[in-house]
Structure 1
Amino acid sequence: MSRRILLLLPVALLLSLAAWAHAYHASIMELRYNPQKLQLEIALKVFSDDFEKALSVGQSAGISLDKSPKEQVNTLVLQLVRRSVEFSTKPGEVLPLTLVGIQHEHDSHWVYFTAKLPRPVQSVSMRHKLLLDVFPDQMNIVNLEAAGQKQSLLFRSGQEQQQLKW
């Protein structure tokens, strides 16, 4: 009996360490308004394991950001981001998002995309519910830089829609 406990102790320790390694779910978005190009320039940082779990939903096999075919990954990433993040300058007008690229960094990935604006603006409405359907405790932080100002906003369950002004 004591031998069985000694064998199970290292397994229990490893499982508890794995839980501590990634105890929260969050993304960070760096959002910049570029008035010369009339676009929003967006860099989104997401934990790789969380992102892969969301991308794998509905797929016959699990998706790996680094090992799955690049074309498949790009398509799934753009679909997920378009479902989860929306910008608009007036009600009913969702700005199209264009994927620029994906970059691996340690235990996370950066996803870069742009949103063209129809005209110069001083605000946009943003809906940000990335990964909220997979992780109810998900927090999405947005750092906005526009018109020489910086501000940060927090999007979470029940607070998916906010107005960004500059």
Structure 2
Amino acid sequence: MASIFYKWLIIFSAAFSGFHHPVFVSVTEINYNAAGKTLEISCKIFTDDFEQTLRQQNKTKVDLLDPALKNAMNPLVNKYIQKHLQIAADDKKCTLQFLGFEQQEEGIISYFQVNDITAVKKITVTNNILYDTKPQQMQIIHVMVKGERKSTRLNNPDETAGFEF
């Protein structure tokens, strides 16, 4: 009973105190699609942190939630992620193709694809998303190859993880 009370107290306090989320994390998922010979990549970042970073770096109005600004925001999202997320498959640098982004819950999910990946035994990920503006930022990375899932966490300043299948 007491734990329910404390949960409600935290929720109530957060709702009325201008609460900002206490965790700074992005989640990157990489899935190898053998049939399509592609790597499918999604990257979820808290909207408020991402917008703040894009504003600071681009010195322009940023609103990732306004549908009227979607076309103007696409290049900002693409450029930032391309700069801060690099992937190598079997020691060959991959070229990320930007597919777009969408808002989901409190985050922005951006989508990328890498074509012409016939097989993969090793994936190396360099990810320093928001490290430049959020010193406490961490990255969660999930990689799925042929049904086998591997995951890791990187804490700023660590930015590189390797996965072997």
Counterpart in the other structure of 1:107? 106
- Match of 1:103, as an amino acid? E
Distance 2:77 2:133 in 1: 15
Rate the CA distance shift 1:131–1:117 in 2: closer, same or farther, 3 A: farther
- Match of 2:52, as an amino acid? K
Shift of 1:118: 4.9
Shift of 1:14: 8.1
Counterpart in the other structure of 2:86? 86
Rate the CA distance shift 1:18–1:123 in 2: closer, same or farther, 3 A: same
- Match of 1:52, as an amino acid? E
User: What aligned pairs does 1:1-150 form with structure 2 within 5 A after superposition?
Assistant: 17-19=17-19, 21-67=20-66, 69-89=69-89, 93-150=92-149
Distance 1:14 1:90 in 2: 45
Distance 2:116 2:88 in 1: 9
Rate the CA distance shift 1:127–1:29 in 2: closer, same or farther, 3 A: same
Shift of 1:30: 2.0
TM-score, with structure 1 as normaliser: 0.81
8 Å contact kept, 1:39–1:114: yes
Distance 1:80 1:18 in 2: 28
- Gaps of at least 5 residues in structure 1 are 1-12
Counterpart in the other structure of 2:5? none
TM-score, with structure 2 as normaliser: 0.81
> How many residues are aligned here?
152
Deviations along 1:86-144, one digit per CA (max 9) or x if unpaired, are 011365x4311111121112221111111224542211211011111110110110122
Deviating beyond 3 angstroms after TM superposition, the runs of 4 or more aligned structure 1 residues are 13-16
Counterpart in the other structure of 2:153? 154
- Match of 1:105, as an amino acid? Q
Distance 2:89 2:14 in 1: 49
Q: CA RMSD in A?
A: 2.3
- Gaps of at least 5 residues in structure 2 are 1-12
